[in-house]
Amino acid sequence: DRLLWAQVAPSPNAHAAAMSMAADMRNDTSRNPFVYTLHSNALLNRYNIVTKAWQVVSTAPLTGGTFGAGSTSAFVPSFGAVGTIAAGATTTSVTLTTALPTAVGVNMLANRGGSGEFGFKLRIIDTVAGKTEERWIVGNTASTTPTIRLETALTFTPATGARYELLCGRLFMLGAGTLAAGAFRSFEPASNTFANRSITNLPATVGTDSAILVMDELYVPFDHNPGEGMVKGATTYDTDLVALLATASAASTITGQATGGDAVVLANEYRNFQVRIVADPTTPGSVGQRRIIASHTAGPSAVYTLGTAWTTQPSASARFVIEQPNLLVLRTTGNTTTYTYNYTDATINNGTNSIAADAWSTTYFGAGPANNAVGNLWAPSFGIQPDPARNARHSFNYFFRGGAVTLDLLDIAGSITGTWTGAITYDGNVNSFGTGTTGCYSPFGQEGRYTYVNVYVASAVNQIYRFDAKNRVFSPYVPTDFIQAGTAAQGGRMAAYAAIDGTDTYDVVLLQSHLSTISQELIPLV
C-alpha cells in the first residue's frame, strides 16, 4: 500500500504560465469522464480518466483577452442544455422542443467518452405528475431537437411542456488582459458548443492570479448521491434518491422534519443555500422550483424563509432537498472584491441581493479581508459531514490568498452576504504560497476532507501537501519523483476526479509537471 505517483500519458503540450485544469467533481458514474486543460486562448485539451489518453478539444476556446496571469477555468456539473419537451412523450422516450445549441449526431448523447458507460443523464421535471426523475440516455436522433431514448422507464408519462435538464455540465474559461467579448466563455460537452458569457461587472483588466470556487447543486457530501443535497432526509423520490419531507409551507417558507434529516440543523446553517422541490403528489405544480434560503430557524421542524416567494406554494407533504447555490465565486487581479456569477437560466435572489442569469455581481458576497496574490486557491468543504458541534460546516470555503501562507475563510451562511474571516489559525504553515503553487479539492474519498496542494520549490521535487477542511490541518503528503523547473510560472496544474470500481469510489489526483508535459496520477489511500 505504499503511496506512489504513477506516470500516465504525457500531455500533448507543456505546462505554460496561466494554464489551468478543471474536472467534474461529482462522486458517481454520472461525472464527465474528462479533465480539461486550458493551455491558451488557442488550445483546449482533455484527458480521458478511463483510457488515460489526451486529445485536442478546440484551437479557439477563448476569442478575447490575452492569455496570461489571471486566466483560469472551472467545471460545473449541472445546467447543460435546458428547456421543454414536445407532445408524444412515452415513459422511455422524449422529444425536445427547446433546441440544443448545436445539432447532435445519431446516438451522440449515448456515450460520454468513457469506456462502456452510458451516455449523459437527462432530468425530467413534470408539474403534472409532480415528479423529478433522472435517466441515462441510450440513444438519440440527429437534430437540434432530437428524440431521446432512455435506459429505463420513467414512472410517469411526461406531459407536453415538461422541463428537461441535460446533466452534462459546462466548462467555464476566463481569459486575462483587457477583457472583451470572448474572454469569458463556456463549453457544453454534450453538443460540443462554445458560447460567449457576460463580462459585465468583471474588472476591465484581469491579471495577477485567479481562482474560481464552484458551488453546484450536484456537488454533495461524500456519502450522498448527486440530487440528494447536503442533508439526507427520511423519504425517497425517483425510486432511490433521498429527500427531506416537508411538514408545512407558506407563501415564502417551507418547514422541515420534526425528527431525523434536517431536525439537527442550527439556525442559519444553510443560509444562502437553495431549496429545490423534487416531488409533490398533492400540489404537482410546485415541483422544480428553486429558492435561495434567506434565513432559517434551528431544527426540529426548521422553518426556511426564502429570498423570493413561491410561484406555486408546495403542499405540506412536498419532498425537497437543500443544496448548494448554483454560483461561481471568483477572486482575481490582486483585490478584495468577491465576484459572483450565476450560471443558471433564472435569477438567483436571497432577498437582499440578486443576480440575473449569465450575470456577475460584486456585492452578492462581501469583500475579502485582503488582496489575493499569486498562488491563491480555494479549499471548499461541501464533501464533508459536519462534526456534531458544527465546528465544521458545508458553508465554509477556505481561501489561501497566495503570496504567503495566510488562510482566509468565506462562510456563505455567516450573513446574508456571507462572512469573511481573515488570517484564521490552522496547523502546519509552509514557507510561501507563491508563483507556481496550485491545488485541487477532492471530495470523493477520505470523507471529503482534503484539498491537495503543490507548493513550488525551485529545482526540487514537487512538494505536495493536503489541507483538511474539517480539522484545519495542513500536512505534508507523498511527493512526486520529478524535479521542478528552475523558473516559477503560474498555472492550475492539478485536478481530482472520482475513480469508480463497482461499488468502490477512489480519489485520483492528476498533476502536470511544472513547465513540462509529464503527467502523473496518485490514488490517496490513507
CA distance 216 to 288: 16
* Grid cell of 290 as nine digits: 428553486
pTM of the model: 0.97
Give 487's pLDDT tier (boundaries 50, 70, 90): confident
Return d(Cα 24, Cα 179) in angstroms, integer.
Answer: 26
The CA-atom distances, in angstroms, between 434 and each of 66, 306, 376, 438 are 22, 41, 8, 9
pLDDT at residue 436 greater than cutoff 80: yes
Mean pLDDT for the chain overall: 95
User: What is residue 462's predicted lDDT score, i.e. its pLDDT?
Assistant: 80
The DSSP bridge partners found for residue 139 are 149
- The span from the CA of 525 to the CA of 36, in Å, is 24
Stretch 321-334: mean pLDDT, rounded? 98
Are residues 524 and 511 in contact, defined by beta-carbon separation less than 8 angstroms?
no
Torsion of CA 108, 112, 113, 118, to 10 degrees: -100
Is the pLDDT reported for residue 486 higher than 80? no
User: What pLDDT is stored for residue 488 in this prediction?
Assistant: 85
| Structure confidence at residue 484 (pLDDT) | 80
Higher pLDDT, 265 or 501: 265
How far apart CA 343 and CA 402 sit, in angstroms, is: 27
What are 368-411's pLDDT values in tens digits? 999 999 999 999 999 999 999 999 999 999 999 998 889 999 99
pLDDT for 39 beyond 90: yes
Dist. CA 43–CA 488, nearest whole Å: 22
- For 51-94, give the DSSP string: TTEEEEEES-S--SS--STT-EEEEESS-SSEEEB-TT--SSEE
Mean pLDDT for the stretch of residues 153-176: 98
Q: Mean pLDDT across the stretch 117-134?
A: 95
pLDDT at 526: 59
pLDDT digits (tens, 9 = 90+) for 219-243: 999 999 999 999 999 999 998 999 9
Confidence band, pLDDT 50/70/90 cuts, at residue 115:
low
- The model's pLDDT over 491-506, given as tens digits with 9 standing for 90+, comes to 999 999 998 887 778 8
CA 212, 215, 221, 226 dihedral sign is: negative
Residue with cell 456537488: 219
Confidence of residue 247 (pLDDT cuts 50, 70, 90): very high
Whether the pLDDT of residue 302 is over 90: the answer is: yes
User: How many helices (H) and strands (E) would you count in the chain?
Assistant: 0, 43
Residue whose C-alpha cell is 433564472:
346
- The whole-angstrom separation of Cα 160 and Cα 418 is 40
> Which amino acid is residue 414, in one-letter code?
G
pLDDT of residue 514: 86
Q: What pLDDT is stored for residue 1 in this prediction?
A: 64
